[in-house]
């Protein structure tokens, strides 16, 4: 296993690599913060679904330095049917709000089936959002949507509806009484380079 640290805008991000024929690269999710909750009817409206399509879990802003509103719905068909209306989003969160992501998902046996929209950041839909996947796991554990015990793994399937299916892996770690969330995935190398210090 290889370890190193990336210096990002959010600070140092520990990386570990599970070596093998197809390496799995993990990053440690930065500290997660919980923000305000939103009316289910408002979130259903901006996602152009029915309020009865939502699970009985208050949509909430959760961030690991990438503010994201998480909206839990009842099944995959509703996730696929969702379509974020940017105008309604601005109306619901306020015209002067910072850009944020809206993450709609449904729990599955493996973890979650999800989609992410960020039109205020110029992203109509993202096929793989590592920065929101750690907070997704935390939100699901907090709301009893997944067991999420230490040492457990789950997966978030994202991008399927847009034809760019991706699988993001989550590993729940427990160190010194604190829970850490690692997010991992496989990559396809396009080029190689060497850094000398």
Nearest to 69 by CA among 111, 77, 90, 80: 90
Report yes or no on 19 lying in a domain.
Answer: no
Confirm whether pTM is higher than 0.85. yes
User: Is 136 within the bounds of a domain?
Assistant: yes
pLDDT > 70 fraction of the chain, expressed in percent and rounded: 94
Query: Residue 175: inside a domain, yes or no?
Result: no
Is residue 15's pLDDT more than 70?
yes
CATH of the domain at 134: 3.10.310.10
Question: Which of residues 98 and 56 earns the better pLDDT score?
Answer: 56
> Is residue 14 one of the residues assigned to a domain?
no
Mean of pLDDT values over 183-188: 87
Examine residue 12 and state whether it is found in any structural domain, yes or no: no
Residue 195 lies in a domain: no
Whole-angstrom Cα distance, residue 144 to residue 101? 22
Q: Are 129 and 121 in contact (CB under 8 A)?
A: no
Confidence at residue 97, expressed as pLDDT on a 0 to 100 scale: 64
Domain count, the chain: 1
Provide the domain limits for residue 143. 30-167
pLDDT digits 0-9 by tens, 144-173: 998 766 678 899 999 999 999 999 999 988
Q: Give the lowest-confidence range in 30-39, 115-124, 188-197.
A: 188-197
Locate 18 and state its tokens: 């599970």
Instruction: Give DSSP secondary structure letters for 136-192.
Output: HHHHHHHTTSS---TT-EEEEEESTTTT--EEEEEEEEEETTEEEEEEEEE------
pLDDT tens-digit readout, 86-110: 888 877 776 556 768 999 999 999 9
Instruction: Output the pLDDT for position 100.
Output: 87
What pLDDT is stored for residue 150 in this prediction?
A: 66
The answer as to whether 119 is a domain residue is: yes
Whether 114 is covered by a domain: the verdict is: yes
Spatial contact of 4 and 12, defined as CB atoms under 8 Å apart:
no
Q: Look at 112 and 94; give whichever has higher pLDDT.
A: 112
Number of continuous H segments (helices) and E segments (strands) in the chain:
4, 12
Helical (H) or strand (E) element with 45? helix 40-46
Say if strands 101-107 and 68-72 run parallel, antiparallel, or are unpaired.
parallel
């Amino acid at each position: 296993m290889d370890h190193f640290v990336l210096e990002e805008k959010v600070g140092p991000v520990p990386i570990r690599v599970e070596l093998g024929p197809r390496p799995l690269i993990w990053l440690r999710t930065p500290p997660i913060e919980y923000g305000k909750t939103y009316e289910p009817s408002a979130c259903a409206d901006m996602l152009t679904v029915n309020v009865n399509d939502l699970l009985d879990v208050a949509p909430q802003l959760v961030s690991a330095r990438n503010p994201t509103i998480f909206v839990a719905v009842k099944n995959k068909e509703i996730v696929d049917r969702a379509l974020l209306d940017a105008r309604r989003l601005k109306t619901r969160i306020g015209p002067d709000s910072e850009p944020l992501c809206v993450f709609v998902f449904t729990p599955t046996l493996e973890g979650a089936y999800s989609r992410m929209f960020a039109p205020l950041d110029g992203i109509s839909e993202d096929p793989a959002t590592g920065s929101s996947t750690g907070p997704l796991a935390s939100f699901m554990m907090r709301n009893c949507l997944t067991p999420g015990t230490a040492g457990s793994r789950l997966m978030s399937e994202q991008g399927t509806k847009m034809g760019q299916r991706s699988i993001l892996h989550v590993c729940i770690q427990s160190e010194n009484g604190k829970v850490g969330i690692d997010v991992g995935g496989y990559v396809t190398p396009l080029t190689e380079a060497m850094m000398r210090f």
